Amino acid sequence: MDPRAGTLAREEDLIDVDAVVGAYYDLHPDVDDPAQKVVFGTSGHRGASLDHAFNEDHIVATTQAIVEYRRGQGTDGPLYIGRDTHALSLPAWQSALEVLAASGVTVMIDARDSYTPTPAVSQAILLHNGATSSDGVRTSGPGLADGIVVTPSHNPPRDGGFKYNPPHGGPAGSEATGWIADRANEILRSGVGQVKRVSLDEALAADTTHRHDFMSSYVDDLASVLDLDAIRSSGVRIGADPLGGASVEYWGAIAERYDLDLTVVNPQVDPRWAFMTLDWDAKIRMDCSSPYAMASLVEKMTGEGTSDVFDVATGNDADSDRHGIVTPDAGLMNPNHFLAVAIRYLYSGARPGWPDAAAIGKTLVSSSLISRVGASLGREVVEVPVGFKWFVPGLLDASVGFGGEESAGASFLRKDGRVWTTDKDGILLALLASEIIATTGKSPSKHHAELVSEFGESWYARVDAPATLDEKATLAKLSPEQVTATSLAGEEITAKLTEAPGNGAKIGGLKVTTENAWFAARPSGTENVYKIYGESFVSADHLKTVQAEAKDVVSAALGG
C-alpha cells in the first residue's frame, strides 16, 4: 500500500484533460497489439486514450459493430444511451451518436444534456420492453429497446469505457460481447473510414434522435422499489456523496421529490477528480468500496465532533452502479457485510410482495456469510461466476429476488416482485441503508454485528500473485482433477470447483472450500497476475494461511 493512500490528491496526480481528450482524436490503435484492440471484460471495453486503447477509432468501430449486432438480433426499437463524468465519456458519446444516427438507429439521449447513471439506462430499457406489464419483460421480438453506457465505472480519470446492454437491460453476455469485439476489431483492421457517420449537429438534429428524461423516470419510479415514506417520516439524516459521478443531480432530485433529509455532501464535478483522496496505490479511483477513496466521507461521519451530522452517509462510483455505506459507529462497511445485512432485511418480511421461492443471488467470491444467512432464512442461495450478467435471468423472471457482488454492486426486485433493474444500482442500495435505519431503528453496521453474533465473525481479503499469460490461460481452463491437495489451512477440502454451483457456468478459475474457509483464484483480465479471494471464519491469521496455501495449490495445479 502506498503511504499516501487516503490523502488528498496533489497537482501532480491530476490528469491533463486536454491531453487526454486530444489523444482520443489524434492517436490510433495498432490492432496487432493485443493491448490496443477492442476487448470486452465483464463491464465493457475499457482503456486509456494515451495508451492507444480508447480512441475514436475504437468507439466508431464498436458502435458500428453494435449496429450490426442489434440488426442481426432483430432489435429495431430505440437505443438508450447514457454517459458518466469521465473526460473521455462525452467525446465517445458524441462519436457513437454520429454513427448511430448515420445508420438510422432511433436513439434516446438525456433530455438535460447531462450525465446518466447506469441503473437509469437499465430501467429505461426495461420500462420500454414491458417492465410495468404483468406479462413480463420481452427480450426478443420487434420494437425492443437496448442501450449503451459510456463509462469506465470507478476507473481512474484518464480512462474511458463503453458497454452494451441488450434488451434484457443488463450487461451483455459473452456471446454478444465476443461477437461485437471481434467485429469491431475487423473494422479497425480494415479502417474506420468505411463506417458511415454524420456530423454531431446532424446527429443531434436527426429525426431518429429523441430526448428522454432519464432522471424523472428513474426518480419517480423509486417508490415502487423502496419504502421512501418510512425514510421521510423517520427523519433519517442522509449524506450522499456522488464522488463526482453521474448521480450528482439525481440525489438532489430524490431529496426534493420525496422530501427527504438528504444532503449532497459534495456536488462537484471535475474530470480530474482533484477533490478525491488517493486509493491504496496512490491512484485516483472512484471506488466507493475503498476506505482510502472514501476517506473524506468517512472523516465527515466518524471524525471528532462530526459523528452526529448524518445517520448514514453513502458514496457511488462514476456511473453509480456501486454503493458505499458509511455509519457513525463503524465507518465504511465492508461490501460483503452490507450485502448480508440487506439480504437478511429484505427476506425477513420487508418485501411481502416477493415470490415465496425467490432465491438469493451471490457471486462465488462473495462472503459465505451470505450463504449462512440464506440457509437461516430457508432460501436457496444461487452462486454464480463473477459478473452481474449472471443475475439477469433470475431478476427478469423473479426467481432471484436479490443479486449482489462482492465489489459493492447489487439490485433487487420491486416491492410487488417485478423486475427493477438488471444492472447494478448503487443509488438503490444506498437508499436501502436508510430504509433499514428507518424501519428497524438500527444502523446497517449494528445489524451486521448481530449477524456476527449469530453466524460467527469472518475475515475476507483479496491478494494478487504474479502469473504469465500461459499460466493465466491454464488457470482459466482448470479442471477439479488437476487440484491434488486434500487439505487447506488444516481443514479437509470439501469442494474443488471450476464451475459455479448455481448455474453450472465456467468460473474461469478455481474455488476450493473447507468447513470454515475458502479461496477462489481467477486470472486478471488486464495484468499479469491472478487474483486470490479468500475468507476464514476462524481468524485473521487463519486467513493468511489460507492465502499462502492457496498460492501453493494453484502453483501445483499449474504444474509449478
Kindly tell me the sign of the dihedral angle through the C-alpha atoms of 415, 419, 424, 427: negative
CATH number, domain 14-217: 3.40.120.10
Q: Residue 173 — very low, low, confident or very high, per pLDDT cuts 50/70/90?
A: very high
Statement: residue 527 has pLDDT above 70: no
Share of the chain above pLDDT 90, in %: 87
pLDDT digits (tens, 9 = 90+) for 413-451: 999 999 999 999 999 999 999 999 999 999 999 999 999
CATH of 459-557, one of 3.10.150.10, 3.40.350.10, 3.30.310.50, 3.40.50.2300: 3.30.310.50
Domain map (residue ranges) of the chain: 14-217, 459-557
* pLDDT average, residue stretch 474-482: 88
Is pLDDT at 526 greater than 70 in this prediction? no
pLDDT of residue 478: 86
Q: Is the pLDDT of residue 560 over 70?
A: no
pLDDT over 70 percentage in the chain: 98
- Whether 73 and 257 have beta carbons less than 8 Å apart is answered as no
pLDDT (average), residues 484-496: 95
Per-residue pLDDT tens digits for 308-320? 789 999 999 999 9
pLDDT in the model for residue 468 = 86
Closest CA to 203 of 296, 97, 306: 97
| Location of C-alpha cell 463506417 | 195
Mean pLDDT, rounded, for 477-498: 93
Residues 329-365: pLDDT tens digits? 999 999 999 999 999 999 999 999 999 999 999 999 9
Instruction: Specify the pLDDT at position 306.
Output: 60
Give the pLDDT confidence of 359-402 residue by residue, as tens digits.
Answer: 999 999 999 999 999 999 999 999 999 999 999 999 999 999 99
Confidence of residue 140 (pLDDT cuts 50, 70, 90): confident
Q: Does an H or E element contain 548, and which?
A: helix 540-557
pLDDT at 304: 64
Cβ contacts of 486 within 8 Å, gap of 6 or more: 492, 493
**Which positions ≥6 away from 306 have C-beta within 8 Å?**
299, 300
Q: Is the pLDDT of residue 307 over 90?
A: no
Residues with Cβ within 8 Å of 441's Cβ and at least 6 positions away in sequence, in order, are none
Distance CA 13, CA 4 (A): 11
Q: Tell me, what's the pLDDT at 528?
A: 76
How confident is the prediction for the chain on average, in pLDDT? Answer: 95
> Among all residues, which ones are annotated catalytic?
153
Strand 107-110 versus strand 209-212 pairing type: parallel
Residue 13 falls in which region: left (phi positive, over 0), alpha (psi -120 to 50) or beta: alpha
Confidence band, pLDDT 50/70/90 cuts, at residue 535: very high
**For residue 18, what are the contacts with CB-CB under 8 A and spacing of at least 6?**
none
Q: Confidence band (pLDDT; 50, 70, 90) for 305?
A: low
**Is the confidence at residue 323, as pLDDT, over 80?**
yes
